[in-house]
Chains A and B, each alone.
Chain A
Amino acid sequence: MPIPIYVKIALWTCYLLSLFFAIFWFLVLLDKETKTKTRKLKKHPSVSIVVPAYNEEKNIKTTLTSLTKLDYPKNKLEIIIVNDGSIDATKNLVEKFIARHKGYDIKLINKKNEGKGAALNDGLAMSKGEFFICLDADSIVTKDALEKILPHFTDDNIAVVLPLLKVDKPKNLWQRMQWLEYIVNMFYKKLMSRLNCVHVAPGPFSVYRKDVLKKIGGFDEDNITEDLEITLRLQSKNYRIVQLLEAEVFTIAPKTFKELYKQRNRWYKGSIINAFRYRHMMLNRKYGDFGVIQMPTIIVSGIIAIVLVMSLLYYGLKPYVKAAYNSIFIDFDFYTLIKTFKLDFNLLDLNYTAILVAVIMLTISVFILRKSHFETRERAYKHGLFSLISYLFFYFLVMGFIWIGIMLDFAFGKKQKW
């Protein structure tokens, strides 16, 4: 079936853009950067950890327990749980937890439900620490995380330092694919961090310099992705955001497609909305590599996902759908077709340009996959070959599907709620 010329141009543009991005980041990877030595913390600054919680009765205890196990002086650690109007047992559980951990400085703020941004700001207003940490209630911190992160605030200009996020104990295929995705993404973010191109400081255990956070006015209370917004704001004020791969934090990933769809719909929609809001940085050389490559990437990655997946589904499935439909007219007599099937193959039938594209893409993917696992001290096969293959050949379809959903939401003006 002939593919119209405009579709071909769109596909080639997408392919060349992806190739360009891949090669660019590969060059960044090749750059021998002065190895960041594992730094030792000389003195312990005071730290406030704010845990916004909305109906988190299932996870809150594990999260808080991991905080009490942190290798850090108790008198320098302040834990503030902001109960964002939960209607489950969150409040009771936290109160019990506080009662049982007398030696720790743990506070509970109860407020009416206003969203995460507002909850974080309430925590921020109350916090006394020099550093401010946000920790989602579905995440678990490893005990040396803080000791490993804090020494990286070497420069006053560094506003945020991010830990390595891993998916906690993946149980089904959805979580296992995300486990792989996180590994690759974290490695990619580490590369971005080299050029100060990180565009999101996610909820689990991002460590902020509190004075900077206060100076720029705290979190946006009216944003579906306040973590992305604050990072873009920091970037627009030329602060540095550093990604580490040494300190580890575990997070619970959505376990069904529905949950994943909801989460990603919000994330990606938020990235588009906020990228639009900070569009003055787009392709603006004043903001260095962040403006020139990272801001466009936020938008372009969505467009690429939509174009690739839609054309793949349309042109890949259409011949089969047609053949299935045409089979009505031969009374579904597949027996005759199979019996007389003769393979008529010629090497010249192959589309070598497409093969070249596929080989290059696959080589880059495999290389990145291996390198990311090496850098994050994991093995790609850890959760089975099936999830690895699914991640390589199926996951992008899921992402494309989510992006198509977002496109439709925008087109039909669906309002996004937290």
Chain B
Amino acid sequence: MRRLSRDKYIIAGGITLGIFLLGLFLGLAIEGKRVNYIESVSRKQNLDFSSLQLQYAFIDQLSQEKNCHAVQKTFEQNINNLESTRIRLENFDREAKLNKNEFELLKNEYILAQIRYWLLAERTKKLCGADIVNILYFFSDERECSDCEKQAFVLTYLKKKFKDKLLIFSFDSKFESEPMVPLLKKTYNVTAYPTVVIEGKSEAKFQDKDSILKEICSYYKEKTEDCK
């Protein structure tokens, strides 16, 4: 009978299992921290929104249009924060194991936040006469929509180019349960993905950089260099 290092197999198995559990535990602990983080950020962002709303109401009430510029800046900043948190949330949700539901709820909240900001943007355009173009972008996941990824890539690029003059609000088709999403889809006749709605005009297919550029530039009162 040949030698069999039974004790070594048991110890090695035990240590391996220990490291595995440690990794698992670490992952779950981080996940919990991520939920807390997004929750606190989102509470802060809700507060920011209320404040912003108040600022516009103030301008409107007391005809303080000279303050428009400063408030507009805050608006842009808030929108950027919202977007970066949304992307982070998207990534956290993908890796989530135990807290999928919490993340989905948070995502739902972000959809609502986007709609609130979009409505506010429409209102302030009239109020402050800001030279801004709004885009609504409806997308679905990779399996259903092969063009969505490149559409998102093009839109992100344009956002970087036009910065605060272009506002993009994206809506995941998955959130049918949130009544606002079907309502928007019905309003803009969204039946396929990707759909890009530029200032209320919808186009239900992938659109390249140049066609979107042409479209948004037609709305700007002041043509920037990127429009030439």
Binding site for B on A (CB under 8 A): 2, 16, 19-20, 23-24, 27-28, 195-196, 238, 285-293, 322-323, 325-326, 329-331, 333, 336-337, 340, 344, 346, 348-349, 351-353, 356-357, 360
CB 8 Å contact bits of B36-75 with A (1 = contact, 0 = none): 0100000000000000000000000000000000000000
Are B209's CB and A330's CB within 8 A? yes
Binding site for A on B (CB under 8 A): 1-5, 8-9, 11-13, 15-16, 19-20, 22-24, 26-27, 30, 33-34, 37, 84, 88, 91-92, 94-95, 149-150, 153-154, 157, 160-161, 163, 208-209
Residues of B within 8 A of A352 (CB): 26-27, 30
Select the residue from B16, B22, B208 with max chain A CB neighbours within 10 A.
B16
Residues of B within 8 A of A287 (CB): 2
Are B153's CB and A329's CB within 8 A? yes
Are B5's CB and A195's CB within 8 A? yes
Residues of A within 8 A of B209 (CB): 329-331
Select the residue from A348, A351, A357 with max chain B CB neighbours within 10 A.
A348
Given A196-B2, A351-B95, A357-B23: A330 touches B30 (CB 8 Å cut-off): no
- Which of B4, B20, B37, B92 is the one whose CB lies under 8 Å from A16? B20
Q: For chain A, what secondary structure do more than half of its interface residues adopt (helix, strand, loop), or is it mixed? A: helix
Are A326's CB and B26's CB within 8 A? no
Are B16's CB and A19's CB within 8 A? yes
A-B residue pairs in contact (CB < 8 Å), sample of 28: A19-B19, A23-B11, A27-B8, A28-B8, A195-B5, A285-B4, A288-B2, A288-B3, A289-B2, A289-B4, A292-B9, A293-B9, A322-B149, A329-B150, A329-B154, A329-B208, A330-B154, A336-B160, A336-B161, A337-B160, A340-B160, A344-B84, A348-B92, A349-B91, A351-B95, A353-B24, A356-B19, A357-B23
* Cα distance A229–B16 in the bound complex, in angstroms: 32
Residues of A within 8 A of B11 (CB): 23, 27
Are A2's CB and B94's CB within 8 A? yes
Total A-B contacts with CB atoms under 8 angstroms apart: 94
Given A288-B2, A344-B84: A333 touches B157 (CB 8 Å cut-off): yes
B13 nearest CB neighbor, chain A only? A20
Residues of B within 8 A of A356 (CB): 19, 22-23, 26
